[in-house]
Amino acid sequence: MQSRVTTSTLIKMKQKGQKITALTAYDYPFASMLDQAGIEIILVGDSLGMVVQGKETTLPVTMDEAIYHTSMVSRACTFSMVIGDMPFMSYQGSLDRAIENAGRFLKEAGAAAVKLEGGADVCPVITALSKAGIPVQAHIGLTPQSVHQMGGFKVQRDEERLLKDARDVQSAGAFSVVLEGIPSPIAAKITNELQIPTIGIGAGVECDGQILVLHDMIGINNRFLPKFVKKYADLAGVAKQGLEQYIKEVKGGEFPSKDYEYK
Ligand code: KIV
């Protein structure tokens, strides 16, 4: 059996030039599939607000919901590293509250690390959590929790700011950083400069690893898909076929046939 992925596994992978695979998951059955397939990082993203709860943004996700979903995912994993995504306003208020909330992901939900959004502004939080023994993955570029401040989900192109944010989160103690919605040449520059692994989403192939929202890439999200999403499967199509067949067989009195009944 392969040993569990840790922060040092990821750093070693970067040093050896081995690409890191990451996906989101929000429940036990999908997390089991990802873990068994050998995905190195499972992020219980606050994207759950949009792809699972059907909300317009990630902002309404609560700490209790994030803990509930992270617990289900952790229970399924023996290989993948599970990262809990800190909800909007769970780490901005005070360092004490940030430590308390981040601690819940490790104590109650079985995660090995947390992710939080922001660059230079959140460095005091990254340092405080790291000092408390909580590994932190940073997230810069297009940060969905700042959708209102950014005026929409927009590609971020300010190279100087992005490079500074990347350097700052590394210095603050982050073990990895998600680069979202960044032109590929800038993401490549950041990746070459940093010692910690970069995980890209809409940031090109030069990142040390890639992450996608699971429901987008397996085709069970019927909403708008951004340009960077590649659909690897059409699970909604397969499910639709099965559902139509079930309806037809029940209505036609074909199901349950003798094979599916007790004698
Ligand atoms: O919430 C999320 O799923 C994320 C990833 C897409 C990086 O933040």
Atom of ligand 1 nearest to the CA of 212: 6
Q: Percent of the chain at pLDDT above 70?
A: 100
Q: Is the dihedral of CA 153, 177, 88, 24 positive or negative?
A: positive
Residue 242 CA, chain-centre distance (Å), reads 29
Mutate to test the pocket of ligand 1, among 27, 41, 46, 147 (most ligand atoms within 8 A of CB): 46
Residue 112's pLDDT is 98
Residue 180 falls in the annotated catalytic set: yes
Which residue's CA is the nearest one to ligand 1's atom 1?
45
* C-alpha to C-alpha distance for 129 and 123, rounded to whole angstroms: 10
Predicted TM-score (pTM) of this structure: 0.97
Q: Dump pLDDT digits (tens) for 47-66.
A: 999 999 999 999 999 999 99
Residue 1, pLDDT above cutoff 80:
no
* C-alpha to C-alpha distance for 99 and 88, rounded to whole angstroms: 14
Q: Dump pLDDT digits (tens) for 178-237.
A: 999 999 999 999 999 999 999 999 999 999 999 999 999 999 988 889 999 999 999 999
- Identify the CATH assignment for 7-232 out of 3.20.20.60, 3.30.200.20, 3.30.465.10, 3.40.50.720: 3.20.20.60
Atom of ligand 1 nearest to the CA of 117: 8
Q: Which residue of the set 180, 244, 249, 261 is catalytic?
A: 180
Residue 60 CA, chain-centre distance (Å), reads 17
Distance 139 CA to ligand 1 centre (A): 9
Which residue's CA is the nearest one to ligand 1's atom 2?
45
Residue ranges of the chain that CATH labels 3.20.20.60 = 7-232
* Secondary structure in 3-state letters for 126-194: HHHHHHCCCCEEEEEECCHHHHHHHCCCCCCCCHHHHHHHHHHHHHHCCCEEEEECCCHHHHHHHHHHC
User: How large is the average pLDDT for residues 67-78?
Assistant: 98
Q: Dump pLDDT digits (tens) for 117-136.
A: 999 999 999 999 999 999 99
